[in-house]
Amino acid sequence: MIESGPDNALSMPRCLNCLRLSVTMHDRRKPVIETTPRYEDSGIFKTQLVQLTVELVPLFAQNKRGDVLIKGFVDVDGAIDVVFAGRRKSQVKPLTARLQTLLNRTRAAGGTGGGGLDIDRIRHPVRIEGAWRPRFSCDDQGWQTREHQLYAARWLVMDRDGQAVEFGEPPIR
């Protein structure tokens, strides 16, 4: 297998996305009214489900489909994106509210440490059951890189009283 990269003499040209070539793509998604939970889950959870604890930080985003992305860490430096997609994205609001509260409390307590607020230090552990999916993007030099995102099916958080609360639902297969 030939890999593209700056150190490979047989490297392929930079990825098409990085060259910003305009290619017309057809949207092959079904209309929302025709999407069943089974069909949705078959598209989202294509690989084996895993269970792991992820420390989420209060850094949120949305993609073009309206899915919620939250930055998290699976170890000290292993940053990932956790994606709450499809019908599960409506259930993530309590989690984003909790993360926002943690951020606000840190700001109010003066948690800037003199050098600015480091959002990556504000972490909230969440037990997540989901599937890993690759995401391809381009680096600063225009070479294609591969990252992994964790698509959440179910997640478990502790409420203020220390009770475990589960959100999401198992994938329908």
Residue range 26-49: mean pLDDT, rounded:
85
pLDDT tens-digit readout, 44-90 = 999 999 999 999 999 999 988 889 999 999 987 789 999 999 899 99
pLDDT tens-digit readout, 94-149 = 999 999 999 999 988 875 555 678 899 999 999 999 999 998 888 888 898 888 89
Confidence of residue 18 (pLDDT cuts 50, 70, 90): low
Burial class (CB within 10 angstroms; exposed 0-12, middle 13-18, buried 19+) of 33:
exposed
Length of the chain: 173
Does the pTM exceed 0.85? no
CA distance 57 to 117: 12
